[in-house]
Amino acid sequence: MAGVSSCMKYSMFIFNFLFWVCGCIILGVSIWLRVSKSAQADFQIDSTLFSGIDLLIAVGAIIMVLGFLGCCGAMKESQCMLLLFFIGLLAILLLQIVAGILGAVYKSQIEQALDSTMKVNLDALKGSSQSDKDFQTAFHNFEIQYKCCGLENGKSDWGGNSIGCACDKADEATDVCKNNLYTKSCKDVMIDFLKNNMIIVMGVAFGLAFVEVLGLVFSMSLYCQIQRK
**pLDDT tens digit sequence for 53-73:** 888 888 889 889 999 998 998
Residues 13 and 71 in one domain: yes
Residues 104 and 160 in one domain: no
The answer to whether residue 157 is domain-embedded is yes
Could you report the per-residue pLDDT of 125-175, keeping only the tens digit for each? 888 788 888 888 888 888 888 888 888 888 888 877 767 777 888 877 788
Q: Are 12 and 219 in contact (CB under 8 A)?
A: yes
Q: Are 2 and 8 in contact (CB under 8 A)?
A: no
Q: CB neighbours of 71 closer than 8 A, spacing ≥ 6? A: 13, 16, 17, 20
Q: Band the pLDDT of 15: cuts 50, 70, 90.
A: confident
The confidence score (pLDDT) of residue 173 equals 79
Cα angle 108, 112, 115 (rounded to 5 degrees) comes to 140
The confidence score (pLDDT) of residue 1 equals 42
Residues 101 and 212 in one domain: yes
Residues 185 and 214 in one domain: no
170 burial type by CB count under 10 A (0-12 exposed, 13-18 middle, 19+ buried): exposed
The answer to whether residue 224 is domain-embedded is yes
Residues 19 and 98 in one domain: yes
Residues 68 and 146 in one domain: no
Residues 44 and 98 in one domain: yes
Could you report the per-residue pLDDT of 68-123, keeping only the tens digit for each? 998 998 888 888 999 999 999 898 888 888 877 876 776 667 667 666 767 777 78
Q: Domain of 69?
A: 6-108+208-228
The answer to whether residue 86 is domain-embedded is yes
The answer to whether residue 198 is domain-embedded is no
Q: Are 16 and 215 in contact (CB under 8 A)?
A: yes
Q: Are 221 and 14 in contact (CB under 8 A)?
A: no
Q: Which residues pair with 177 in a beta bridge?
A: 182
pTM over 0.85: no
